[in-house]
Amino acid sequence: MKKIISILGIIVISAVIAVGFIACKGDDDQVLLPPPSPCNCPTTGHLGVGENCGCGGKGCGCTEQTAVLDGMPIRKQTGVTVDQMNTGVTKIAGIYNSEELSTSDRNKIKAKVTEIRIVPGSGTAFEGGILSIGHEATTTAILYIFIDVSVQLITATQLVADIKIGWNLGNTLDAHPGNETSWGNPATTRANITTIKNAGFNAIRIPVTWYKALGPAPSYTINPDWMAKVVEIVNYAVSNDMYILLNTHHDEGIFKFTNAEKEQSLAVFKRVWEQIAHTFKDYNEKLVFEALNEPRTKGASHEWSGGNSEERGVLNEYYQVFVNIVRASGGNNRERVLLINTYGASTVSAAMNGLVIPTDSASKKIAVSYHAYEPFSFAHNGNGTWSNTSGNTSPITSRVDNFYNQFVLDKGIPVIIGEFGAHRNTSEDVRAEWTDFYVKYAASKGIKCFWWDDGGNFKLLNRQNNTFDYPKVKDALMYYK
């Protein structure tokens, strides 16, 4: 799945280089590097990759500094020379690039640097991602920079902006307690997902229920056959170059939100996400992990009204555990976009105000989601009709506006509507008009929508013959065309 490019440069290392590189874009001919620390540091330099491995805040405890190489400008390879000038400013003349990159690859110049490898000259060494330059280093070393152009370093906002319209593979891998066909839908095929992509959907949400596939405590090992089934369907979407939301869905029976139950529940939650994260850690940035579906206490009086303060607080603990687990799993998960929902995926103010965005080692990689079948009687229950009047549109626009104002405007966090749809009991023409209004209004605020296709009341795709039972509704979803 990965595409790796090697870009070669020649480094002539002069004596006594005592500073790590921070690549700062200068003009078209050079990258300027900062001067070494004015204090008396040891005469060994280090080139760290990606994360801060350096002296920031450490004074002269070392001479490492962050090497900001991800997204280094890619230009024609000219060779690289290093001079240590009297001022202490190190200069690299000639920035790399390879003219062999395709046009699509050039659009991915903010690619992930997967490896920097040195073939050392005398007095240099490269081990564990660190280039060590001894004070006797006077000879030539060869620098290979490996760039994975299949992975783009994009923010959550950029990712959501690139989503056009999404589709849920509903009542399938989330069906329980049986398998993917136990709720009446056929086994998912590659042709199903290809049909969805060719229809204009560039994103898919894959709801998955995990509790039924877990082994006993304390390892809670996911049945390998079940994981293989999930991987198979995710790969159908990968092969169609789609954005993918992968979640834990109907697992409220093992994920509890009271203080009395949270310790055991978080232990299971942690193990489930450790295994999911490990399995998919090398997938590119188009795979998004969604921590939970509609997190709530089933049967509680406040189940759909935002929960209580205790439950919302526990939910926020889940999200911090989720972020920490994914980031610690390594690979592309260090920078993967992550999706969190309000309590119950609700739009009420208690749920919105109670959601705390978790601390994240990656920058701008979290998005928020909610679900809204509105107006509820028409959209969710299939009663009555709908027309483009303020009384009928305000249940849609008010929710979009509230999330836009509170998260997009105030916090810079993008928003996805992970589920919406209109019940098939009502007229297809009316549902198409409703759909057109809904997705266009949400898109006007930068919020993207995922239709809930359960193969039943909210069905779009006929999965047996790969046609659309309600083509007018399908066409209305393609607002961007």
| Domains of the chain from N-terminus onward | 4-151 (no CATH), 156-477 (3.20.20.80)
Q: Are strands 130-133 and 124-127 parallel, antiparallel or unpaired?
A: antiparallel
CB 166 within 8 A of CB 245: yes
pLDDT at position 152: 66
pLDDT at position 111: 39
CB 291 within 8 A of CB 358: no
The set of residues, in sequence order, having a beta carbon less than 8 Å from that of 153 and lying 6+ positions away, is 70, 71, 110, 111, 112, 285, 335
CA distances from 14 to 18, 44, 127, 252, 313 (A): 11, 13, 20, 62, 56
Distance of alpha carbon 226 from alpha carbon 179, whole angstroms: 9
Q: Over its length of 481 residues, how does the chain's per-residue pLDDT go in tens digits?
A: 333 333 333 332 222 222 222 222 222 222 222 233 333 333 333 332 222 323 233 332 222 222 223 333 222 222 333 332 222 222 222 222 333 333 343 333 333 444 333 333 434 443 443 333 343 333 333 333 344 445 667 899 999 999 999 999 999 999 999 999 999 999 999 999 999 999 999 999 999 999 999 999 999 999 999 999 999 999 999 999 999 999 999 999 999 999 999 999 999 999 999 999 999 999 999 999 999 999 999 999 999 999 999 999 999 999 999 999 999 999 899 999 999 999 999 999 999 999 999 999 999 999 999 999 999 999 999 999 999 999 999 999 999 999 999 999 999 999 999 999 999 999 999 999 999 999 999 999 999 999 999 999 999 999 999 999 999 999 999 999 8
Distance of alpha carbon 459 from alpha carbon 462, whole angstroms: 8
Radius of gyration of the chain (CA): 26
Distance of alpha carbon 144 from alpha carbon 351, whole angstroms: 50
Residue range 20-46, pLDDT digits in tens: 222 222 222 222 222 333 333 333 333
Tokens at 440, concatenated: 């266009």
Which among 344, 335, 214 has a CA at the least distance from the CA of 277? 335
Catalytic residue of the set 64, 252, 290, 294: 294
The set of residues, in sequence order, having a beta carbon less than 8 Å from that of 362 and lying 6+ positions away, is 327, 334, 335, 336
Half-sphere exposure of 215 (CA within 13 A, CB side): 11
Full 3-state SS string of the chain: CCCEEEEEEEEECCCCCCCCCCCEECCCCEEECCCCCCCCCCCCEEECCCCCCCCCCCCCCCCCECCCCCCCCCCCCCCCEEEECCCCCEEEECCCCCCCCCHHHHCCCCEEEEEEEEECCCCEEEECCEEEECCCCCCEEEEEEEEEEEEECCCHHHHHHHCCCEEEECCCCCCCCCCCCCCCCCCCCHHHHHHHHHHCCCEEEECCCCHHHECCCCCCCECHHHHHHHHHHHHHHHHCCCEEEEECCCCCCCCCCCCCCHHHHHHHHHHHHHHHHHHHCCCCCCEEEECCCCCCCCCCCCCCCCCCHHHHHHHHHHHHHHHHHHHHCCHHHHCCCEEEECHHHCCCHHHHHHCCCCCCCCCCCEEEEEECCCCHHHHCCCCCCCCCCHHHHHHHHHHHHHHHHHHHHHHCCCEEEEEECCCCCCCHHHHHHHHHHHHHHHHHCCCEEEEEECCCCCCCEECCCCEECCHHHHHHHCCCC
Tokens at 398, concatenated: 């008010």
Distance of alpha carbon 337 from alpha carbon 361, whole angstroms: 12
CB 247 within 8 A of CB 237: no
Half-sphere exposure of 233 (CA within 13 A, CB side): 24
Our answer to whether residue 136 is catalytic in this structure is no
Our answer to whether residue 419 is catalytic in this structure is yes
Cis peptide leading into residue 177 (ω within 30°): yes
Catalytic residue of the set 180, 335, 419, 433: 419
